Amino acid sequence: MVTPEVAPPGRDDPPTRAAPSDPPAAPPSTGHRARRGLREQARIARILGLIGALLMGISALGSGAFPVPNPLNGLRVIGLPARNVTLAIAVTYAGLLMVVTAWLWIARMLTTRGARHPAPERRELGRTAILWGVPLALAPPMFSKDIYSYLAQSATLARGIDPYSIGPAQALGIDDPLVRGIPTVWRDTPAPYGPLFLGLGRGITALSGDNVVLGILEHRLLALAGVALLVWVLPRLASRFDLDAGLVLWLGAANPLVLFHMVSGIHNESIMLPLMLLGLWVMLGRDDTVQPWWRITAGAALIVAAASVKLPALLALGFVGVYLVRRRGGRLVDWAVTTAWLSAIAAAVLTFFSLATGLGFNWVRGLSAPSALISPMSISTNLGLLAGQVGRLAGLGDHLDTTMGLMRSLFVLPIVVIVVALLLGCLRGTVDPVTGTGLGLGAVVLLGPVVHPWYLFWALLPLVVTRAMPFYRRGLLLLSVVLALVVPPTGADFFFRGFQLPLAITAGAVMYALALYVVARLIRAPGDAAADGPGGPDDADDADDADDADGAATPGDAPAGTRAASDTEPAR
């Protein structure tokens, strides 16, 4: 055996060691700076969104959907934005774009398994959403004037007049303070809402009378209560489908559409959808086990209560009913018992609200009231208008009403086909009831005769909390951004202020570009490891997470905590 020669002390050759006791200094320093830079990006995104919300809240004093007359006219300081509406609209658009950009920026940091280090955690996301929502909750309404219809229709009921028979102008008079703020096209339209919502509105009227500002504040408190319920129920539905609660809250409750149209616009979807989602959670529970009868009864009652605000929510009861039939065996007796049980609950709850409000069942005939007007976002309506115009050009006369009605009727067939296909998928177990509800309501909205941007809530919020969410996450993000931009803050269409909006939008885009320039300078500051910005080389270690943020999570991905730990390893 040959023994290797051992060098005596004092030789120039370095001593042989198994491994260095300390890692090289440079790589850990780089990793630390990278994490610090990403934390700084998250902080800047939250501040950018807050500044945008503050700009929107302040400029709403001039660009909001005000009652007539504007109560801010003549006030010295608070009335300043109302004296230059074009500038106010420009500032609103700049703030809106900042909020949307910040929301997308933070959404990129989140995955289906949790926050991507060092993205904000769930509690921090909740605080951020609240901070962004406060300026909008304290500002005048924006993006819609539906609140004035709510007030007038509730006052009609409070005065003992059937709001499903005549419009607010006929019931209260054209000069009534509650009627003046309603757009002209809606003043003669009967109420299209369910008895529960008008009953709540009558209670608000009893407190506010004909004080428009006080009535708006009370309706906003009701809407905020609905948003709070939404924040409570979304994480619980998310846990059923193994989704991260923070991601679901950010895509759902912190969505710009929720901030703009529920908090600011005060739409009654803020009551309908939280009640429907709560009913789904109560009926379905935390796993796939069939819940006890009392939970199914309570959940069904909540869904029917949501339908007493807007009837389409009742579709959720059908999907849960089919799910219960499948879980119980799918026999004929299961169909009979489940159908009879849920039908009895629906009939009892609807009868209770109809009689308790004194409205009876007249609300059923009011459901078609919105379709009396032309909805420019409706596919069936636009095809009907196109067919009528072609007939007019061909010399066949003016038959717009006929072609529009015919096309709307034809589009009922694809809605029925889609809903039935989803119900069959739910019966086979290939479609869960929450996904079926979201896709079914999406078909009702997109193919229906009346479409408003906030109607897409009906599909968006249920789809946020389903197993398939990672696969169509990009679509949800894109849809949210597009719909956040299509409605002017004044609550009217683009033609109403056609002489102001182009200039205001251009000026708002310039302000937004300046804000982005400042943000870019901040994240590229000397010595900051985030100099490459979002998606740069410093994010290379998080490439798998970036894929998760953009689309579906792959089964082989490691948990977020594993990646965070690997960031501390020295470079090799």
410 found inside a domain: no
Question: What are the CA-CA distances from residue 88 to residues 94, 135, 264 (Å)?
Answer: 10, 15, 16
Dihedral angle computed from the Cα positions of residues 54, 59, 65 and 66, in that order, rounded to the nearest 10 degrees: 110
447 found inside a domain: no
Cα(17)–Cα(37) distance, integer angstroms: 36
Q: Are residues 274 and 311 in the same domain?
A: yes
Residue carrying structure tokens 């700009």:
55
Q: Are residues 323 and 234 in the same domain?
A: yes
| Predicted local distance difference test score (pLDDT) of residue 119 | 56
Q: Are residues 188 and 72 in the same domain?
A: no
Q: What is the DSSP letter of 554?
A: P
Q: Are residues 47 and 151 in the same domain?
A: no
For 460-480, the pLDDT digits (tens) are 899 988 877 777 778 888 888
Could you list the beta-strand ranges (E) of 495-542.
none
Answer for the pair 222, 200: CB distance below 8 angstroms, yes or no.
yes
Q: Are residues 150 and 76 in the same domain?
A: no
Q: Which of 363, 392, 424 is the last residue of a domain?
A: 363
Count other C-beta atoms under 10 Å from residue 424's C-beta. Answer: 13
Question: What domain range includes position 102?
Answer: 35-140+492-546
| Predicted local distance difference test score (pLDDT) of residue 183 | 85
- Residues in Cβ contact with 496 at an 8 Å cutoff, skipping those fewer than 6 apart: 488, 490
Cα 248-252-253 angle, rounded to 5 deg: 110
Q: Are residues 103 and 156 in the same domain?
A: no
Residue carrying structure tokens 């910040």:
102
Cα(250)–Cα(107) distance, integer angstroms: 7
Which of 80-84, 100-104, 234-238 is predicted with the least confidence, judged by mean pLDDT?
80-84
Q: State the total domains in the chain.
A: 2
324 found inside a domain: yes
| Predicted local distance difference test score (pLDDT) of residue 567 | 39
Is the pLDDT confidence value at 111 over 90?
Answer: no
| CA Rg value for the chain | 28
| Predicted local distance difference test score (pLDDT) of residue 196 | 93
Cα(439)–Cα(277) distance, integer angstroms: 14
Q: Is the dihedral of CA 440, 441, 443, 448 positive or negative?
A: positive
| Predicted local distance difference test score (pLDDT) of residue 97 | 94
Q: Are residues 245 and 284 in the same domain?
A: yes
305 found inside a domain: yes
Which of 48-52, 394-398, 412-416, 554-558 is predicted with the least confidence, judged by mean pLDDT?
554-558
Higher per-residue pLDDT: 530 or 283? 283
User: What is Dmax (Cα atoms) for the chain?
Assistant: 113
Q: What is the DSSP letter of 261?
A: I
* Residue of 266, 225, 273, 268 whose CA lies nearest to 143: 266
For 509-520, the pLDDT digits (tens) are 999 999 888 888
Is the pLDDT confidence value at 69 over 70?
Answer: yes
Reading the block at residue 273, the tokens are 């959808």
Is the pLDDT confidence value at 112 over 90?
Answer: no
Question: What are the CA-CA distances from residue 338 to residues 125, 307, 343, 419, 420 (Å)?
Answer: 40, 19, 8, 19, 18
Answer for the pair 411, 396: CB distance below 8 angstroms, yes or no.
no
Reading the block at residue 92, the tokens are 């609103």
Question: What are the CA-CA distances from residue 153 to residues 68, 266, 333, 349, 359 (Å)?
Answer: 17, 15, 44, 22, 12
Is the pLDDT confidence value at 11 over 50?
Answer: no
Q: Are residues 114 and 228 in the same domain?
A: no
For 410-455, the pLDDT digits (tens) are 888 999 999 999 999 999 888 889 999 999 999 999 898 888 888 8
Residue carrying structure tokens 């009864």:
297
pLDDT band at 174 (very low <50, low <70, confident <90, very high): confident
pLDDT band at 33 (very low <50, low <70, confident <90, very high): low
Q: Are residues 69 and 150 in the same domain?
A: no
- Residues in Cβ contact with 416 at an 8 Å cutoff, skipping those fewer than 6 apart: none
How many CA atoms, within 13 angstroms, populate the side-chain half-sphere of residue 528? 17
Count other C-beta atoms under 10 Å from residue 533's C-beta. Answer: 14
Average confidence score pLDDT of the chain: 80
Question: What are the CA-CA distances from residue 322 to residues 19, 277, 307, 348, 569 (Å)?
Answer: 64, 17, 18, 20, 51
Answer for the pair 399, 388: CB distance below 8 angstroms, yes or no.
yes
Is the pLDDT confidence value at 158 over 70?
Answer: yes
pLDDT band at 266 (very low <50, low <70, confident <90, very high): very high
160 found inside a domain: yes
CA end-to-end distance (rounded Å), the chain: 36
Reading the block at residue 51, the tokens are 């500044």
Is the pLDDT confidence value at 569 over 50?
Answer: no
Q: Are residues 165 and 133 in the same domain?
A: no
Is the pLDDT confidence value at 364 over 50?
Answer: yes
| Predicted local distance difference test score (pLDDT) of residue 54 | 94
Q: Which of 363, 380, 410 is the last residue of a domain?
A: 363
Reduced to 3 states, what is the DSSP secondary structure of residue 78? coil
Cα(151)–Cα(198) distance, integer angstroms: 9
| Predicted local distance difference test score (pLDDT) of residue 562 | 38
Q: Are residues 205 and 322 in the same domain?
A: yes
Q: pLDDT over 90 for what percent of the chain? A: 31
Q: Are residues 182 and 329 in the same domain?
A: yes
**Chain CA centroid to CA 394, Å:** 44
| Predicted local distance difference test score (pLDDT) of residue 478 | 87
Q: pLDDT over 70 for what percent of the chain? A: 81
pLDDT band at 227 (very low <50, low <70, confident <90, very high): very high
Reduced to 3 states, what is the DSSP secondary structure of residue 190? coil
Q: How many helices (H) and strands (E) does the chain have?
A: 23, 2
* Residue of 154, 284, 275, 165 whose CA lies nearest to 218: 154
Dihedral angle computed from the Cα positions of residues 420, 426, 429 and 430, in that order, rounded to the nearest 10 degrees: 70
476 found inside a domain: no
